[in-house]
Structure 1
Amino acid sequence: MADETELPDDVALLWGMRDAPRRGPKATLTADDITRAAIAVADADGLGAVSMARVASELGNSTMALYRHVRSKDELLALMADAAFESPPELPADADWRSGLMLWARHNLAAARRHPWFAQLPIGAPPIGPTSLAWFDSALGALSGSGLSEPEKVGVVMAMLTYVHGEIRLRTSLSAAYAANPEAFGPRYGELLKRLVDPRRLPALSAVVEAGVFDQDTLYEEEEAKEEFEFGFSLFLDGVEQFIAARSRE
């Protein structure tokens, strides 16, 4: 019977606590080496280029040498997902919860943007790796002194993750689409909407079109995307602020 105090095998791998293979020649690789090489491949050529064979080639080793440490591509992707982000930012000691979460969100978004392939990774489980949990802890820590209960803090952080990671995936997709076909984001889009949007069927959208919202040279610019993110995130924080204020009156 397995020792119930032992970590699950996949979790032990993420934390560098899985026993190294004892048979065969002395290992010259580590799981960290393999993870770094896989991230370099993904940064250079995209997530689709990552395979055990490609990573082995980059490291100058056989594919079987990798399998001694990382047993499948799924394990490799899990390692990459946790290692892609650096440590979370150190929140200023005098920061209030709102500025702390804003700083956290900006750094989280920037970290993901450095690795566009991150948005393509599957989300198969709650955070469990050391880096993922460090970011989770940092966000919860920003809410210290907010007056929220522990379950409420988790609820706020999970809602924030939904917004931030939604932005990561949306902006990554739009950036790639714009690079591939910038004309789709140009004046032609507004012109098409004027032809297609019937005010009787789509009255709200028609009002936006008639106001000239889409009459722009380009509908996608990185700086504007950042501003739109901060505007939307500020609205989210406004809601959290109202919730905290309601809690304090109870």
Structure 2
Amino acid sequence: MPRPRSLTPDRLASAALAVIDREGIAALSMRAVAHELGVSTMALYRYVRDRDELEGLVVELVLGAVDTEPPTSDAPWTERITTMVVRLRDAVAAHPAVLTLTIAHRHRSPGVLRWSETVLGILAEAGYGGERRVIALRCLVSYVNGAIQLEHLGPLSGDGTIALTELPPSGFPYMTETAECARSVGADREFLGGLAVVLRGLET
């Protein structure tokens, strides 16, 4: 039976992403996506082999839109890295539940590979080679992944921070004082401030 032209990879990915955004990653299944599209589950198998392939389409839909062109070479390498990291964060943070999929499919996603290639090029121009470049890239990716999870699962403006401010100061003087300050730190300030700390470490 010919495939309906309307079921393109982008449409499949968009339907899967809608399920994830609405119900979380655990809800993603071939049946759920078929229901989202208004087709039978068996019909979906004409387009993708399994959930793993479907996940790959979702990752590419999210990260394929990331601008991977190198920022202007006139800027310091730390500013160029910041630009690349913010681009990645903005794309993933719009669909935080997809984060685990970007990690699992990082070796097969053209979007991830293009982003990494650009970042590695900037690091190479800054004098990073060998193991140093490996660790630098891994550090940056780890920071983005961890920061996005904290921003959406445990934001500084959330109940967790409030609970910390209510700890007995006699037993947790630094925790309570820091938590009070944390309540006024916005998500962008937290992310960019942390990234600046990471980059200062890489500079040394």
TM-score tier by shorter-chain length is: 0.7 to 0.9
Instruction: Give the gaps of 5 or more residues in structure 1.
Output: 1-24, 198-205, 243-250
Equivalences for 1:15-94 in 2 at 5 Å? 25-28=1-4, 29-85=7-63, 86-90=65-69, 91-94=71-74
Aligned residue identity for 1:225:
A
* Larger Cα-atom Rg: 1
What is the aligned-residue RMSD (CA, Å)?
A: 2.7
Equivalences for 1:165-176 in 2 at 5 Å? 165-175=145-155
CA distance in 1, matches of 2:183, 2:54: 33
CA distance in 1, matches of 2:35, 2:88: 31
Instruction: Give the gaps of 5 or more residues in structure 2.
Output: none
Give the conservation status (yes or no) of the 8 Å contact 1:96–1:142: no
Give the conservation status (yes or no) of the 8 Å contact 2:15–2:37: yes
Q: Structure 1 length normalisation: TM-score?
A: 0.69
The correspondence for 1:104, drawn from 72, 77, 84, is: 84
Shift of 1:220: 4.8
Shift of 1:234: 1.2
Are 2:108 and 1:143 equivalent residues in the alignment? Answer: no
Q: Percent identity at matched positions?
A: 31
Are 2:194 and 1:232 equivalent residues in the alignment? Answer: yes
Shift of 1:125: 5.8
Shift of 1:169: 1.7
CA distance in 2, matches of 1:220, 1:68: 50
The count of aligned residue pairs is 200
Give the conservation status (yes or no) of the 8 Å contact 1:97–1:146: yes
CA distance in 1, matches of 2:124, 2:110: 21
CA distance in 2, matches of 1:148, 1:240: 10
CA, structure 1 residues 115+185, in 2 after alignment: closer, same or farther (shift >3 Å)? same
CA distance in 1, matches of 2:74, 2:192: 22
CA distance in 2, matches of 1:193, 1:236: 32
